[in-house]
Amino acid sequence: MPGPGRIVTSVEDLREIARRHVPRMFYDYVDTGSWTGATYRRNEADLAGIQFRQRVAVDISQRSTESRMLGEAVTMPVALAPTGLCGMQHADGEILSARAAERFGVPFTLSTVSICSIEDVAAATSRPFWFQLYMLRDRDFMERLIGRARAAGCSALVLTLDLQIQGQRHKDLKNGITVPPRLTLPNLLDLMTKPRWCLGMLATRRRSFGNIIGHVANVGDLTSLSHWVAAQFDPTLCWDDIAWIKERWPGKLVVKGIMDAEDARRAVERGADAVIVSNHGGRQLDSAPSTIAVLPEIVEAVGHRTEVHLDSGIRSGQDAFRALALGARAVHIGRAYQYGLGAFGEAGVTRCLELIRKELDHTMAFCGVTRVEDIGPAQLYRPRAGE
């Protein structure tokens, strides 16, 4: 198996390798949007449509992608977004991703519905990671879960607000995705063509939801992910619940899933230290706008009071630059690193981060910028009307 350094020149390469290695239903779980997939595609297309203004004859010899996120020093303003069931792409996926992020010097966010538990990831890393919270109906369990994140030394809690119900993802329905996987004949045939993945999975003992095991009596009963979400996730979640969370979580609070300026103001009024402009990577409300399209109005509404981050559609350092230029303080990547994980495990996540940093650095250089804080709208090219 060739190492990622030799053959991988873009996140798209990682995606293609992951597509070949990872069993189809698990690859599809990552590479899908909801309903028609319009928002999923729009996130990428709108970013790609933003052009740069090339500048020349600037001394760019001393450049740095270093920055800060929530007060933490980072080697670039890019975090790994929470992705549920990360361990389906590669055995111990959450641990490998957290390690890659730690070595690279960027934040890792562990999902509530991860396969490795908070304690597994804490034991395998030394840099504090961020923990993402889905609000389940059982408040006693939520209280214990927040307590576990505190005990593990997590440095931020990311509250996801856009998944009170789950957006319908057609590929998952058609593949019959279940937890644990049900072995139908097509699944079995597909698995037989992916021996490296199967051996990796057999070598690990972690096959269940690490954070919620014990809450769900028998994880083997979780036949359908969407049914489980419908039964457990709290549809009554509203702004007042943030006070309940803050009573139990004294640390940094990030509110994720913001697509509207008024919602951003509400999050900030309730004490959010950062908001993440996110449409869940186009996995929830289909035909929502892209995140890059709504970013400016949200930055205008709350950018002077809080950090505004963005995710959804970031596939390169150039995309990160585009978001920073339009006012984001930082970006988060979901699928980009999932592809790296599925392709090569920890080395693939590292490769993804290396690619993004290099692309960000080179774009800064071509646009005549040497520091992340100097990236702004002046580096974007806006065609005149009619061009």
Torsion-angle region of 151 (φ positive above 0: left; ψ -120 to 50: alpha; else: beta): alpha
Q: Pattern of binders to ligand FNR over 41-80, x per CB under 6 A?
A: --x-------------------------------------
Interface residues for ligand FNR in 160-199 (CB under 6 A)? 160
The site for ligand FNR, by CB under 6 A, has a size of 25
When the beta carbons of 48 and 365 are compared against ligand FNR, the nearer one is 48
Verify binding: residue 333, ligand FNR, rule CB under 6 A.
Answer: yes
d(CA 317, CA 1): 26
**Residue 168 near residue 226 (C-beta atoms within 8 A):** yes
Question: In the bound complex, what is the minimum distance in angstroms from residue 61's beta carbon to ligand FNR?
Answer: 32
CA–CA distances in Å: residue 195 to residues 20, 48, 97, 101, 190: 11, 36, 22, 27, 10
Q: Are 66 and 374 in contact (CB under 8 A)?
A: no
23 binds ligand FNR (CB under 6 A): no
What lies within 8 Å, CB to CB, of 380 at 6+ separation is 50, 51, 52, 53, 322, 325, 326
Residue 227 is labelled as binding a ligand = no
Taking CB under 6 A as the criterion, the residue among 278, 306, 363, 379 binding ligand FNR is 278
Q: Does 129 bind ligand FNR (CB under 6 A)?
A: no
Name the helix (H) or strand (E) containing 78.
Answer: strand 78-80
Helices (H), ranges, 193-334: 195-202, 225-232, 241-248, 261-269, 291-302, 317-325
Annotated ligand binding at 311? The verdict is yes
Q: Choose, by CB under 6 A, the member of 30, 118, 264, 364 that binds ligand FNR.
A: 30
CA distance 147 to 297: 35
Secondary structure element (H or E) that encloses residue 124, with its range? helix 118-124
Rounded Cα distance between 291 and 302, Å, is: 16
Q: Which of 28, 94, 311, 319 binds ligand FNR (CB under 6 A)?
A: 311
Closest approach of ligand FNR to the CB of residue 37, in Å: 12
Nearest residue (CB) to ligand FNR, 81 versus 191: 81
Q: Rule CB under 6 A: is residue 340 a binding residue for ligand FNR?
A: no
Of 215-274, binders to ligand FNR (CB under 6 A) are 256
Catalytic residue among 21, 90, 280, 309: 280
Question: Active site includes 309?
Answer: no
CA 374 from chain center: how many Å? 25
Binding site membership for glyoxylate: which residues?
Answer: 29, 132, 134, 169, 280, 283
- Contact residues for ligand FNR, defined by CB under 6 A: 29-30, 43, 81-84, 111, 113, 132, 160, 256, 278, 280-281, 283, 311-314, 333-336, 338
Residues belonging to the active site = 280
